[in-house]
Amino acid sequence: MLRITDARTGQPVDAAPARRGLTRVEAHVPRYDTSSLRVLLVADLLVRALELGGTPVWALLTGDREQAELHAAAAALGIRPFEDRRDVGPGWGESQVVHVVEEEGAAPDGVRITVGPVETASLPEDADPAVVRLALLTPPRGASVRLDAEDLSTAHETLVRWRRAVADWARHPSRPVPEKVRGRLRTAWEDDLDVSEVLRVLRWVEESELPEGARFETYAYADRLLGLELTRDLGSPA
């Protein structure tokens, strides 16, 4: 069961209802900038984690300005589509509502997740969106982030290395994700969306002596949460 720290109280709460009802995830983004994109990215992770646990989700975006630009940039980062709050009526039938907001931002009633700001005003026009996504995923979500050339370079090197490794492992017989590894991954993302721990597990798997097929399946499984297209280079020349 996915549990999230409610920013109002500092206490963990269930992100999904006790019964299999609907969870509404509402991202509050007042403008288009990198901090707003990070809020949407955290909301996207929450949606993915809930869906992996079998919870139906209704994803909404609440904002007033530059919505077209925000939607386009979010799509480039691999963020699932969020419905515009202005285009829908009142909530219907949800059993739980989780608001994702920027630190010091909107303060809606209900369970609230806060996201630290991105101090970088803008990103390089030629930045690979998957690299930006990984760079934003790496720090804890409550920490402030300053994305510089070194951060993007490190994320790029990691992403290239992992994609090449996954493509190589895919050439070997498939093996199931070891239950211990699957448990570590699920425990990480169900414990307050601890993406940093998910990434640590992947680094351990990368260097482990697990069969190549098991390493492939582990990365493919984790990527259902991370959304980094780690299997993109399958079939590419060795």
Q: Do the beta carbons of residue 73 and residue 41 sit within 8 Å?
A: no
Token look-up 């139906």 returns: 56
Q: How far apart are CA 219 and CA 226, in angstroms?
A: 10
Q: In DSSP terms, which residues pair with 24 in a beta bridge?
A: 58, 97
Token look-up 């969306």 returns: 193
57-115 pLDDT, tens digit each: 999 998 776 678 888 889 999 999 998 876 565 555 667 899 999 987 777 788 999 99
Residue 230 token pair = 């780690």
- Residue of 157, 134, 159 lying closest to 45 (CA atoms): 134
Q: Is the pLDDT of residue 125 over 60?
A: yes
Task: Tell me the domain boundaries of the chain.
Answer: 3-117, 122-238
Reported pTM: 0.92
Higher-pLDDT residue of 161 and 127 is 161
Q: Do the beta carbons of residue 203 and residue 188 sit within 8 Å?
A: no
Q: How far apart are CA 167 and CA 212, in angstroms?
A: 10
Looking from the CA of 20 toward its CB, the CA atoms found within 13 Å total 5
